[in-house]
Amino acid sequence: MSQLPNCPECNSEYSYEDGNMYVCPECAHEWSKNEGTEADNSVKDSNGNILQDGDTITVTKDLKIKGSSSVVKVGTKVKNIRLIDPAENADHDIACKVPSLGALKLKSKHVKKV
């Protein structure tokens, strides 16, 4: 029996073949057999630029902070970001310290590289 690849979304080992596709029964993700098994783990900003640890970013949208009345305003510059695994942090890709607000996690789709 051939070894099928794990799901690239949830890393489930229970994937199965369906015609020209692989399917994950746990998260319902489907991917092509032609796709490389190597996932693209690069984090990109709202303009498609690749982000790296230590970069400086600017916020492109007012972001409400959950559980607080504070807001991260558009144009806020954040220095020295740290990239984190989005699978463990509910879609948040960036850990950083926002001036006057402290440590926060941000989504890469709401920032741009400076």
Name the DSSP letter for residue 63: E
How far is 105 from 91, CA to CA, in rounded Å? Answer: 10
Ramachandran area for residue 88 (φ above 0: left; ψ -120 to 50: alpha; else beta): alpha
74, HSE (Cβ side, Cα atoms, 13 Å): 3
pLDDT tens by residue, 47-104:
989 999 999 999 999 999 999 999 999 999 999 999 998 667 778 899 999 998 999 9
- Fill in the amino acid letter for 30: E
φ, ψ for residue 64 (rounded to 5)? Answer: -75, 140
Name the DSSP letter for residue 5: P
Average pLDDT of span 36-52:
76
Name the DSSP letter for residue 109: G
Give the ranges where the chain is alpha helix by DSSP (H): none
Q: Determine if the pTM surpasses 0.75.
A: no
